[in-house]
Amino acid sequence: MAVFILLTLKVDNSRKRTFSIIGTYLRRVKKICLHNRSSYALCVRLFHQEDAAVLLVTDVNNLIHIYIMAQFNQGVLGAFSGKVGSVVGSNWRDIDYMRGLPKQSSKPATAKQLLIREKFRLLIQFLTLVKSVINQGFKNEDTRRATAFNLAFTANKDAFAGTDTEPVLDFSKMIFSKGSGVSKATGCKIVADGDGVLTVTWDAISGNAQALTDEATVVLYCEEDKEVVVHEGVLRSLNTAQVEIPSNWSSCTIHGYVYMTSKEDKNSLTSYAGALSIM
């Protein structure tokens, strides 16, 4: 069985009222769809259990968009891929889904919508440069229903500065890794070492001999050229990493980041090493 429903609700700023309205609409939908007790039980499961449905709620200009995409399991025709009428069948992470075709709006975008789109564009552009880094940095998070890139996007969704008309990324807040059980690098700094080499340092760790074998991932980002250099495999116990930078990195600002990975392939949180201006 497969069910796809799209609801668009206009609500006020009250979270309690928002979910009250959502619940009211879901009850109306179930009342229309249900014909007997067995189908009622199935609908409740589809609507409320994560392993049977995906529920995405986004708030754009006080419009709550609810997408309920039901998972189906060997229906009358079984799983399918591609468009059939106004329905599209697809498979993601070994799960078969069915969704409706998107509809284009003829209404001009509001200022708030334009702001959100620009933030999305800036963040996706930046994270794409460090995709291999975040694939390692988020690999131990729950990636059954989201990719490492999706998780990194969520983790950095508030990493912005600037104004409502001209947002800019706040590079000091960027997160490339998440984890527990591995000590975060502290006291991280970035300094110029001459001859196209930068040195990134961090504080020595004490009282944890096992952590000395952790390996550091160092990320350098050139703000003006929008380029990234990644240096991996340096032992935490060395407390320093020397990284060669491209010759075109001149008259620019370079941001540095460090996270640690244990021998068990667990990651620490990301540390910001600061910004360095190269003349």
Q: What is the CATH number of the domain that holds 128?
A: 2.60.40.10
Q: Cβ of 8: how many Cβ atoms within 10 Å?
A: 10
- Domain range for 48 is 4-100
Distance CA 168, CA 119 (A): 8
Looking at the structure, tell me whether residues 89 and 198 fall in a common domain.
Answer: no
The answer to the question of residue 147 being in a domain is yes
Strands of the sheet containing 252-261, edge to edge, are 227-235, 215-222, 252-261, 271-278
Predicted TM-score (pTM) of this structure: 0.67
One domain for residues 130 and 268: yes
User: Which phi and psi (to 5°) does residue 177 adopt?
Assistant: -155, 155
Residues 193 and 230 in one domain: yes
pLDDT digits (tens, 9 = 90+) for 158-187: 999 999 889 999 999 999 999 988 999 999
pLDDT at 176: 97
pLDDT classification of 193: cutoffs 50, 70, 90: confident
pLDDT for 118 equals 94
Looking at the structure, tell me whether residues 253 and 155 fall in a common domain: yes
Q: Is residue 111 part of a domain?
A: no
207 shares a domain with 84 = no
A 10 A CB-CB count for 88 gives: 17
Structure tokens at 252: 């620019």
122 and 63 belong to one structural domain:
no
Q: Determine, yes or no, domain membership for 77.
A: yes
Number of domains composing the chain: 2
pLDDT of residue 262: 96
pLDDT band at 63 (very low <50, low <70, confident <90, very high): very low
> Are residue 199 and residue 235 in the same domain, yes or no?
yes
* Residue 106 resides in a domain: no
Q: What is the C-alpha separation between 233 and 216, in angstroms, rounded?
A: 6
Query: Is residue 109 over pLDDT 60?
Result: yes
* CA torsion, ordered 249, 173, 178, 259, to nearest 10 deg: 40
Whether 68 and 130 map to the same domain: the answer is no
Of the residues 45, 72, 100, the one at which a domain ends: 100
208 close to 183: Cβ distance less than 8 angstroms: yes
How far is 81 from 258, CA to CA, in rounded Å?
42
Mean pLDDT of 209-227: 95
Record the tokens describing residue 82, joined without a space: 């591609």
Residues 171 and 244 in one domain: yes
Q: Is 155 inside a domain boundary?
A: yes
Same domain, 79 and 185: no
Mean pLDDT of all residues in 83-89: 69
Greater confidence (108 vs 229) lies with 229
Per-residue pLDDT at 69 exceeds 70? no
Shared domain check, 200 and 63: no
Give the model's pLDDT for residue 21.
56
What's the pLDDT tens digit per position in 137-147?
999 998 877 89
- The stretch 78-100 carries a mean pLDDT of 67
Percent of the chain beyond pLDDT 70? Answer: 65
Query: What's the number of CA atoms in the CB half-sphere (13 Å) around residue 262?
Result: 17
Among the listed residues 217, 190, 216, the one whose alpha carbon sits nearest the alpha carbon of residue 201 = 190
Mean pLDDT to the nearest integer, 101-118:
84
pLDDT at 41: 33
Strand partners, 241: 200
Note whether 128 and 94 are same-domain residues: no
The Cα 86–Cα 103 span in angstroms is 10
Specify whether the CB–CB gap between 209 and 185 falls below 8 A: no
Determine, yes or no, domain membership for 205: yes
Q: Return d(Cα 119, Cα 165) in angstroms, integer.
A: 10
- Please count the CA atoms within 13 angstroms of the CA of 183 that sit on its side-chain side: 18
- Tell me if 109 is assigned to some domain: no
Nearest to 30 by CA among 65, 70, 57, 62: 70
pLDDT at 49 over 90: no
pLDDT band at 226 (very low <50, low <70, confident <90, very high): very high
pLDDT band at 81 (very low <50, low <70, confident <90, very high): low
- Residue from 274, 267, 270 nearest 221 by CA: 274
Are the C-beta atoms of residues 59 and 43 closer than 8 Å to each other?
A: no
- Asked if residues 226 and 246 have their Cβ atoms less than 8 Å apart, the reply is no
